[in-house]
Amino acid sequence: MIKISADYIFPIVSTPIKNGILIFENDGKIIDVLESTELISKEDIKKHKGIICPGFINTHSHIELSYLKNQIKKNTGLGEFVVEVQKSKKKFEKEFILEAIRKAEEEMLLAGTMAVGDISNTSLSFSMKENSKLIFHTFLEVYGSDPNIAEERFQKSFDLFTQIAHQKRNNQASIVPHAPYSVSDILFKKIKEFSIQNNSLFSIHHQESNDENSFFKNKTGKIVENFKKFGISLSNFKATGLSPLQSITSFLPKKNKLLLVHNTFSKLEDIDFATENFNHIYWCFCPNANLFIENRLPNIPDFINKKDRITIGTDSYASNESLSVLEEIKTISKHYPEIGLQKLLLWASLNGAEFLGFDENLGSFEKGKKPGINLIENVDLKNLILNKKSKIKVIKI
């Protein structure tokens, strides 16, 4: 039996406990969560300075792009960012890419991450995932706006799905579209049919740039320009005059869990439409990536009190300087100080665990769970506010 305490314990499912006490079995499973006033022998309690919370859940990463660290210019906008990523992909050997993936996994563990929703376009990360201490759900991402290649693109992702499904560990996966503008109607239908048959998790990049809105409303903007640069015909596409989500609603499963990622340019009417039309909507914010690419954040307060679940992602090293969930919520706290730490940690832990289906064991301090233990140091303990110097120390049992 192991007992630890801190200035505050954040169970997540209840309010923070000042000088609270956690009791664990030797394998890290929680026996009890106690108030400091409850009768217990205190002589064998390890007390920590700071706050203790469950391990983090990163619901959106691209770990296979980790080799692009420090390779892409900041603040170019999504259109130019995509072009630069495609150019850079051709520069690196497989061994370099695999080593970058390994280092990224190590960084996530050190940053207090327990589970990851990871976008994959290839099998490059599969070997790491099968042997990782992290828990992964892999989103096999499909794109292809030409209807003539829909069968080929879907089959490629289905082959990857079959491959990862045979792994001994971390074999949970979905086939998902990249973004509303990058998938043909035929390909969307194939993905939707697969998702419904398998009741699989659904994730899609959403309103990451204002060009996405322009593309659907009037077929203008940098997305159109990029299609031309890549030699992709838009002859089959007609502007809908609607928002991106309104334009593709018929191609998305209504009853599956749906994660909309980024939402940088989403407005209240977009949020309301999503909540009215989908049964299990989740929103993922990757604030540091949004600042890196568009130098803009979503209007996060608009999403609160909509009975929706918010989660946190880090995106990739192509668009971020770290893969730390703590750094993401520090950025939110800096720009939206009215959002309290209890809510930020809920987004960073239990909400993500619930979306990925890992909440039976992760995401909160509750009896029987093994959620991991993060000590956040250098916190304003009087006001329970994170600051620039706040950092993570993973407590191992």
Is 250 part of any domain?
A: yes
Q: Could you tell me the CATH number of the domain that includes residue 187? A: 3.20.20.140
User: Which amino acid would we find at residue 141?
Assistant: E
Same domain membership, residue 333 and residue 307: yes
Q: Which of the residues in the chain have pLDDT under 50? A: none
Is 368 part of any domain?
A: no
Is 367 part of any domain?
A: no
Same domain membership, residue 78 and residue 40: no
Same domain membership, residue 92 and residue 42: no
Same domain membership, residue 297 and residue 285: yes
Same domain membership, residue 80 and residue 22: no
Q: How far is the C-alpha of 277 from the C-alpha of 272, rounded, in Å?
A: 9
Domain span at residue 64? 56-362
pLDDT of residue 167: 97
Domain count of the fold of the chain = 2
Q: Could you tell me the CATH number of the domain that includes residue 35? A: 2.30.40.10
pLDDT of residue 36: 79
Is 188 part of any domain?
A: yes
Burial tier of 125 (Cβ tally within 10 Å: 0-12, 13-18, 19+): buried
pLDDT of residue 39: 63
Same domain membership, residue 268 and residue 131: yes
pLDDT of residue 300: 96
Same domain membership, residue 172 and residue 38: no
Structure tokens belonging to residue 323: 């893969």
Is 369 part of any domain?
A: no
Same domain membership, residue 68 and residue 38: no
Same domain membership, residue 19 and residue 155: no
How far is CA 229 from its chain centroid? 30
Same domain membership, residue 151 and residue 92: yes
pLDDT of residue 307: 65
Structure tokens belonging to residue 196: 């419904």
Is 151 part of any domain?
A: yes
Same domain membership, residue 150 and residue 45: no
Same domain membership, residue 327 and residue 245: yes
Question: C-alpha angle with apex 48: 46 to 50, nearest 5 degrees?
Answer: 160
pLDDT of residue 38: 75
Q: How far is the C-alpha of 304 from the C-alpha of 89, rounded, in Å?
A: 37
pLDDT of residue 308: 65
